[in-house]
Amino acid sequence: MKKIGVGLLGFGTVGSGTAKILLENRKLIESRIGAPLELKWIADLDIETDRG
């Protein structure tokens, strides 16, 4: 089965929250879309800032 790749633009408050929700709810999302989900890329302008 083909994986669904997900990319995020930005990893601030919204981007990191989105990544967290995707990972925490991965199995539910995969069952609804009928394919494995893969958080593949995250792009951010400032990679030096501590994101906690």
pLDDT single digits (tens) 3-52? 999 999 999 899 999 999 999 999 999 999 999 999 999 999 887 877 65
pLDDT of residue 52: 59
The model's pTM: 0.78
Token output for 37:
């989900």
Assigned domain for 48 exists: no
Token output for 23:
């990972």
* Structural domain containing residue 39: 4-43
Domain count, the chain: 1
Assigned domain for 50 exists: no
Assigned domain for 18 exists: yes
* Cα–Cα distance for residue pair 22/45, rounded to 1 Å: 21
Q: Are 2 and 33 in contact (CB under 8 A)?
A: no
pLDDT of residue 47: 76
pLDDT of residue 24: 97
